[in-house]
Structure 1
Amino acid sequence: MGEVLRPHAEQEYAEELARLAEVDERVRPPGWRLSPWAVTEYLMGGELADGTVITPKYVGPRRLMEVAVATLATDRALLLLGVPGTAKTWVSEHLAAAISGDSTLLVQGTAGTPEEAVRYGWNYARLLAEGPSPEALVESPVMRAMRLGSVARIEELTRIPSDVQDALITILSEKTLPVPELNTEVQAHRGFTVIATANDRDRGVNELSSALRRRFNTVVLPVPGSAEEEVEIVARRVAQLGRALELPEAATGLAEIRRVVTVFRELRAGLTEDGRTKVKTPSGPLSTAEAISVITGGIALAAHFGDGELRASDVAAGVRGAVVQDAVSDRVVWQEYVETVVRERPEWADFYRACREVPA
């Protein structure tokens, strides 16, 4: 896997999954590689009786993961809902990896996603030459998951056109996918389920019909509850990305991570940490994922163009870029925050200077 930029979860954490499978003596639902307890342990992390350390994949309330896993152990599909950057895709990938050992059966939702991506399509060269036949059929990831008894993942469900969304209703309720052209159907094998993600901010784009929504149990993934929790998430993911990208050794700069997280949390909330100063909120979500990106970029700057220590000057431009998504309104938000909040914190003097040096 040395040449792969980002291994799939089941590849990167193969040893942890194998060790959990060895020690897992609890009841496993049909088609599952691990019990619900072991799947949750894989997500939340911990130490096994033999000393094996399972790294946390999700930092947040354990109960949310227990509810998500319990949903998948029933005949219900799972919808992970939340604002951008709340680890919906990350969680869905790791759930699929732990349950069925395959996180690659994925439909990426867009405004142009066709019905064939959910149901099936045709190899038109063979279709014209031979007519409808099993050999001319092109399976969607969902159909393949049904045949294999695996987890199918659907990203950004609410971005998919409504008529395409509704192709899921029969699949989720009847656990069958009719193929009328061949006078047959595909019946789901045990272990099949669907994990979908949707963005809170996409409400009104292509909202789910009531019939489809009833087929899902919804788990809302919140933004990190505390600054320390968010700092932990950012630091952990930055370290993982640094190893994957083989960035030169550089001090991770926990102080700078904490500062970036503080800036993002205050701008998201419209209020400073001490509750004394109201600030304007920008148009973007300023998610944890964006904080990770800012810090990773800062480490690359420090390693390649600095002395290897992450400083305010390495993250200032990235923070401004994340905040100023709208060239007019967000620029005002950022300038006011710098002058009314950053400037008034003596311990942030270096960050204030760095922000002032970033071209407007």
Structure 2
Amino acid sequence: MNRAKLNNQNFLLREHAEQQFAEELAELAKADQRQRPPNWNLSPWAVTTYLLGGTLENGFVVSPKYIGDRRLIEIAVATLTTDRALLLMGIPGTAKSWVSEHLAAAISGDSTLLIQGTAGTSEESIRYGWNYARLLADGPSMEALVASPLMVAMEAGKIARVEELTRIPADVQDTLITILSEKMLPIPELGDEVQAIKGFNIIATANNRDKGVNDLSSALKRRFNTVVLPLPKTIEEEVEIVQQRVESLGRALELPVQAPALTEVRRVVTIFRELRSGISDDGKTKLKSPSSTLSTAEAISVVNSGLALAAHFGDGHLSAKDIASGLVGAVVKDPIQDTLVWNEYLETVVKERKDWTDLYRACRDVGS
């Protein structure tokens, strides 16, 4: 198959933020008359507007990428104008990676300088590696060196992203200390160094539930400003997030289906919020919580899976039958404990809601 055709944006399963929202970024850049920090594509005001959405003076509408507390985004953006790095924390599914990607796209026009943190992440992934063929042939040289995304960001004055920082072993994490404090990466093999260009900074993400896995050293913590991204405060806010993201994903995946029914989205979100909080929406029934996180991201996944079923095996309209299997799969992670929690919730809450009869039966059919 023609390689150029494969590289065509029309064939990309998921575009980078700077590709998907290129028009918005361009319109913001044209309208942005405020002072921009060195090497920033947009001013802090424009970056915040890109994340939170708004209408420009020329009438152009910027879509919201994050729905939540404005002050949190302002703090995050302001942090990146200083010499401190930004650490986004929260439980899984609170849009940490999403916010990180869009911040990098708006500031640097490049969200791809990414290090994915795992238990196997090595020091070379953060610093640099070597082209061993060149190394053996010519010895240590800059030509034989393979720059990490972080080194590329330092040299270009861009934002580097580190996902799941607390998944990285503690001794490897501390590789960042010199970079963040001295804005310099030594290359002892060459007796050389890379100094960061203005505009360079790091956005890291970490999962609250990973606390104790590889806690950050106090020296590293001091070099980050931490912003905790919470779950949506209200059901209306969470429904809006789910509705918006599902519609966006549906367009990207070209699902031949109508927009998700608000009724079904609200029911999924209500179930997740009730099971997370341990109490029914009316405050009358105490509930047991399952072992699963039941985050907003998982609600999006449930609705999106339902839409796929409706599109390819239904009439194109999202129904209780379409979302039932996804709901059960999201809640029941432990086949014993979570099944008991889910069955109790179905009998004490879902069954008692007269307008939820179809959902109760659909969920029971999945479990039978």
Give TM-score scaled by structure 2 length.
Answer: 0.97
Aligned length: 360
Q: Is the 8 A contact 2:261 2:317 kept in 1?
A: yes
Correspondence for 1:129? 137
Tell me what 2:362 maps to: 354
TM-aligned CA deviation for residue 251 of structure 1:
4.2
Query: What pairs up with 1:298-313 in 2 under 5 angstroms?
Result: 298-313=306-321
Gaps of 5+ in 1: none
Which secondary structure state, in structure 1, belongs to the residue aligned with residue 46 of structure 2? helix
Query: Deviations for 1:111-154, whole angstroms, at most 9, x for unmatched residues?
Result: 00010110011111211221111111010000000000000000
Partner of 1:343 in structure 2? 351
Aligned to 2:238: 230
Secondary structure class of the residue paired with 1:206: coil
Decide which of 266, 275, 278 is 1:267's aligned counterpart.
275
Aligned to 1:190: 198
1:177 is the counterpart of 2:185: yes
CA–CA separation in structure 1 for the residues paired with 2:209 and 2:96: 14
Counterpart contact for 1:251–1:308, Cα < 8 Å: no
Runs of 4+ that moved beyond 4 A? none
Which aligned pairs between 1:15-164 and structure 2 lie closer than 5 A? 15-164=23-172
Question: Which stretch shows the higher mean deviation, 125-134 or 155-164?
Answer: 125-134
| TM-score normalised per structure 1 | 0.99
> In 2, Cα distance between the equivalents of 1:282 and 1:214?
35
**8 Å CA contact 1:250, 1:302 repeated in 2:** no
Q: What is the distance in 2 between the residues matched to 1:199 and 1:104?
A: 21
1:256 alignment partner, one of 264, 286, 290? 264
Question: Is the 1:121–1:139 Cα contact (8 Å) retained in structure 2?
Answer: yes
Please give the alpha-carbon distance, in whole angstroms, between the structure 2 residues aligned to 1:308 and 1:248.
Answer: 7
Q: Which residue of 2 aligns with 1:245?
A: 253
SS for the counterpart of 1:125 is: helix
CA RMSD of aligned residues (A): 0.7
Letter in 1 for 2:35: V
**C-alpha distance in 2, partners of 1:126/1:280?**
60
Tell whether the 8 Å contact from 2:128 to 2:146 is kept in structure 1 after alignment. Answer: yes
How far apart are 1:192 and its partner, in Å? Answer: 0.1
Q: C-alpha separation between the residues in 1 aligned to 2:138 and 2:11?
A: 41
SS in 2 for 1:211: helix
Distance 2:248 2:259 in 1: 14
2:225 is aligned with 1:217:
yes
Same amino acid, percent of matched pairs: 70
- Please state whether the residue corresponding to 2:106 is helix, strand or coil: helix
C-alpha contact (below 8 Å) 1:107/1:155 kept by paired residues:
yes
Residue 10 of structure 2 corresponds to residue 2 of structure 1 = yes
